[in-house]
Structure 1
């Protein structure tokens, strides 16, 4: 069956947003290594800059996921684009690393959530069935593409111009790419009054629309936390993200400054390529088996990889880790939202996936910062990587429990 041109443009626009935003999000290791070399700040403090940005990003997704249909996809993404460009420009003139907690951690984190959340939700709004599953994974391969190109571009730019000029160049590139993505999103979703209202939003000002939504539906926003299944899923995501975000902060510094592998910055680009290939090659698995089973397999693979990372000393071993971790990370991105849809239904996905970002944010905040603090205290990453990997495994029995409980609930409903 032929795929309509609008669907192709919609997936391409979502891909471009994810590639740009997630490429920036997971390239903090480049900035971490540059700041560590130039400023002499402790690893724990610098890691906290990236961890705080991830914390703000996931926390903002709670509001973004709840309000995206009220405000409209285009309005939210347009505001996110403007604030992201502003945050990158402010980074470039930051008088010190403490300022980065405002421009990089706070403003950039909010901006990324206002771009990525609508890019995910719009697919669930317009696509169904296997077409949705395939589209989600094709769009999610943007993580790998972004990791490949953004990390490589930032590495060479930092070598030639320094990290401040790199942030200015990033602002210009993001404005160009995301503007085209917004244009494609508008064109692909322009038909139908109901669709147009959700894409463009209501005519009320953005601030008034958000405040009225929170006043009218404030209790609905947090009600899912009264559901045991959702609380268990949030706990699983917390333990998973405590370890998952660690390599994106510490791998470049660990490989280059601790193990002496000078090609470590471009290794992150190759990890991004592996993510893209993993997402495309294995993105069809949820069409044949449950997404939760795929996610548990991914968590096990990522955990084992991090536990083995202290034993990676030479170039071949470090590159093997980057490719293995990147492959599983690429599969993870598309499956993660499908797991929420599997347990709670696709109609609740924007709201629940937004709320699920709370434990993700806490895990992203705690994990890399604790690993940096352990390295400062012991002078070694061994215990830190072991702890991060083992902690991720705790998510698997929690997901199994949610899966069993949700299956029992469906059977009970069918019997009634």
Structure 2
């Protein structure tokens, strides 16, 4: 299964020094995930009040995806140059307002999509690249687990947001629910980032002020042009596109999928939380394993496992017990996906141009996450069920796992681990 990596003393030292950074990054990333995990709970209230179709309600996710595609590498380059903190702090404030603004929807589809355009542009400053770049540039021996815990933020959101949004909508109304989610969660992310979000760029600036300090390590790896031709990174990219398309489609529509299967709305929200908990376990477990083994079998098996979950949600397999099992499997697999992508990108591409490379990789993440929900909504509008989506998900999950298997050993960027004397 690959060679065991013996870096545990170094990993422990990294954690003692930098665990607050992981905490801040996890909370910040959870805030970026609030909208995608909440929108499924708003489908019925918006349909009831405005008569919008499910495709129209979720179209903003696709609009966000296509708007951010050309700008993601630009954001990555900005992170490489200025660091995550300078983008994240103002970005969190503006994104909180953008999320809250969904509560201002007037019934016009044009205005609804305009609100999504604003959100898409503003939220670039708090996308995954911001948080993963800060953590990846700080951790080496313990990088996979650190990324797993950082990206567990989205699974925390997946766990908390559905029942929270259901309660807020039921007790306060859907408009107030948007206001509370935006300003409440955004405030928590902003406060923790103010105190703890100090990545490699910030430490480099502090080190430059101290004449006795050693020079910062030189970061090595592929540049963007080399990465675009690298077979391993291309396979990771395709697997990511497929998995994000299927995974986010199911996550966004999981409450309607479950209610169509006869589950009550309240129980569906709780099952969505169960999938979120499984996602947290998936990120942490996968992160722990990938810090110790170099084999693609870990990531490949994890991604392919979602096929079992899709199968169990189909007739005649689904029963109450198997629906619970299916949501756990899908949550585990989907939750670990982004962690697998981020970690493998940092290992196979190196840290020299991580912001640009992962910014480009995140285009596929965004496209998959944007197309999945609206395609799923269109499938339901045309077929009257989500069965075609679940059937297509079975071979899709298997293919994405096979792409990760057999990537080979990680490149040795040994020279990047040596600090030059000042």
Q: TM-score, normalised by structure 1?
A: 0.82
Q: Is the 8 A contact 2:345 2:358 kept in 1?
A: yes
Q: Is the 8 A contact 1:55 1:364 kept in 2?
A: no
Equivalent residues in 2 for 1:204-219, closer than 5 Å: none
The residue number in structure 2 matching 1:335 is: 340
Is 1:285–2:283 an aligned residue pair? no
**2:83 counterpart (72, 75, 95):** 72
Equivalent residues in 2 for 1:240-259, closer than 5 Å: 240-257=243-260, 259=262
Is 1:162–2:173 an aligned residue pair? yes
The residue number in structure 2 matching 1:391 is: 396
**1:99 counterpart (104, 111, 124):** 111
Q: 1:111 to 1:127 in 2, by over 3 A?
A: same
In 2: Cα distance, 1:35 partner to 1:389 partner? 31
Equivalent residues in 2 for 1:298-317, closer than 5 Å: 298-311=302-315, 313-317=318-322
* Larger helix share, 1 or 2: 1
Q: 1:132 to 1:310 in 2, by over 3 A?
A: same
Q: Is the 8 A contact 1:299 1:396 kept in 2?
A: yes
Equivalent residues in 2 for 1:364-379, closer than 5 Å: 364-379=369-384
Stretch of structure 1 that moved more, 254-263 or 141-150: 254-263
Equivalent residues in 2 for 1:15-414, closer than 5 Å: 15-56=26-67, 60-96=71-107, 97-104=109-116, 106-115=117-126, 116-129=128-141, 131-186=142-197, 191-193=203-205, 224-257=227-260, 259-262=262-265, 263-290=267-294, 292-311=296-315, 313-400=318-405, 403=407
Q: 1:270 to 1:230 in 2, by over 3 A?
A: closer
In 1: Cα distance, 2:231 partner to 2:364 partner? 15
In 2: Cα distance, 1:347 partner to 1:229 partner? 17
How far does residue 183 in structure 1 lie from its aligned partner after superposition? 1.5
How far does residue 386 in structure 1 lie from its aligned partner after superposition? 0.8
In 1: Cα distance, 2:296 partner to 2:346 partner? 10
How far does residue 286 in structure 1 lie from its aligned partner after superposition? 0.3
Gaps of 5+ in 1: 198-219, 411-416
How far does residue 148 in structure 1 lie from its aligned partner after superposition? 1.7
Question: What count of residue pairs does the alignment treat as equivalent?
Answer: 383
Q: Is the 8 A contact 1:239 1:392 kept in 2?
A: yes
In 2: Cα distance, 1:235 partner to 1:280 partner? 23
How far does residue 87 in structure 1 lie from its aligned partner after superposition? 0.9
Gaps of 5+ in 2: 1-8, 210-222, 413-422
